[in-house]
Amino acid sequence: MIRAFIALLTAVKHWGNASLAFTALGMAFIVARIFFGHLPDKIGGAKMALVSVAIEVVGRLLIWGADHHP
């Protein structure tokens, strides 16, 4: 879902270079699978799902606040 929001946000804001966001997301996914792929077997799928949802919420909040300047 974050990919859809990134694509829409970069199009609406005319930021360009949306491929950088897709590359970062892909790299983060690969790194997470390498380093944390064993955790569902150790702590359970439900706990990992909760952690994944929390991480996605943080990601969406970062996207939402991307162009808000203090």
What residues make up the domain containing 14?
2-64
Does 52 fall in a domain?
yes
Does 35 fall in a domain?
yes
Assign 42 a pLDDT band (cuts: 50, 70, 90).
very high
Assign 68 a pLDDT band (cuts: 50, 70, 90).
low
Does 37 fall in a domain?
yes
CA distances from 56 to 14, 16, 35, 46, 70 (A): 24, 23, 18, 15, 24
Does 30 fall in a domain?
yes
CA distances from 63 to 5, 15, 47, 50 (A): 8, 13, 25, 20
pLDDT at 66: 74
Does 9 fall in a domain?
yes
Does 69 fall in a domain?
no
Whether the Cβ atoms of residue 63 and residue 8 lie closer than 8 Å to each other? no
Does 70 fall in a domain?
no
Per the structure, how many domains does the chain have? 1
Q: Residue 9: exposed, middle, or buried by beta-carbon count in 10 A (0-12, 13-18, 19+)?
A: middle
